[in-house]
Homo-oligomer: A and B are copies of this chain.
């Protein structure tokens, strides 16, 4: 994907919904803060909040790891408590990889993003991510309206913070923008007219006639039908029909050559 590394396009339509806040609770490594910031930026999130980052803030390692997501790093706010970090939010989600026995809905990233997008305009949601070592504690999870976990293969369930942030951010933007992609398919040419197709059928059949392809003669109708079905279903454009007629014409040209050459070219059918 990195042919996109350089690509920046300020004319881009930002998603209209309020992007959720990402709250990292007591993150231990500055590098993880940076890669989380970068993952947010990929999908249009920019409100990153830290609760008691172990190594303090600002962090050179975070800036380095954010590799370009400076607009997110510069906006980072640091809080002393999780309660303070979520004070202005209308919906709080808590990520956890283990069942905690809370009477809370358990959502995947898809459902979590949908909950955030269902909020009234100007109401911001936030999602809590826990410590690298042991995640969120139960009091922190209890602050949340819903628990978020990921549809991982339980045989290899480990997601790092940046991956977890990336998947939630992806789901949020996918739903917020109706899965808008940065570019569209090159407009497809219209299908060939039936007249052009029938012209190709008849040209090919005429070219095959003298080669002994249609043997035994009683099989001819079936063989013709199979060829026409193949070409019919190929979804050819007008241009592609012309292309194939050129190919047939050149193969036909071979008919002029010495018998020996012909014989081999035609799998010795004559």
A122 CB–B CB distance under 8 Å = no
- A contact face: mostly helix, strand, loop, or mixed: loop
Output the nearest chain B residue to A6 by Cβ-Cβ distance: B158
Q: Are A10 and B155 in contact (CB under 8 A)?
A: yes
Q: In the complex, which of the residues B3, B41, B96, B174 contacts A96, with contact meaning CB atoms closer than 8 Å?
A: B3
Q: Are B2 and A153 in contact (CB under 8 A)?
A: no
A253 CB–B CB distance under 8 Å = no
The proximity string for A residues 150-187 relative to B, scoring 1 for CB distances below 8 Å and 0 otherwise, is 11111111111101101100100110010111111110
Taking the closest CB of chain B, its distance from the CB of A234, in whole angstroms, is: 13
Q: Are B103 and A189 in contact (CB under 8 A)?
A: yes
Q: Which residues of A contact B (CB under 8 A)?
A: 1-5, 7-10, 12, 14-15, 39, 41-44, 67-69, 95-106, 108-110, 129-136, 147, 149-161, 163-164, 166-167, 170, 173-174, 177, 179-186, 188-189
User: Bound complex: CA of A166 vs CA of B185, how far in Å?
Assistant: 23
A102 CB contacts on chain B under 8 angstroms = 186
Q: Are A185 and B152 in contact (CB under 8 A)?
A: no
Q: Are A7 and B167 in contact (CB under 8 A)?
A: no
Q: Are A158 and B5 in contact (CB under 8 A)?
A: yes
8 A-B pairs with the lowest CB-CB distances in the bound complex, closest first: A4-B97, A3-B135, A12-B154, A99-B183, A9-B154, A44-B153, A41-B156, A1-B164
Q: Are B174 and A110 in contact (CB under 8 A)?
A: yes
Taking the closest CB of chain B, its distance from the CB of A250, in whole angstroms, is: 22
Output the nearest chain B residue to A153 by Cβ-Cβ distance: B44
Taking the closest CB of chain B, its distance from the CB of A238, in whole angstroms, is: 13
Taking the closest CB of chain B, its distance from the CB of A31, in whole angstroms, is: 14
Supposing A41-B153, A110-B174 touch, asked if A159 and B4 sit within 8 A by C-beta, the answer is yes
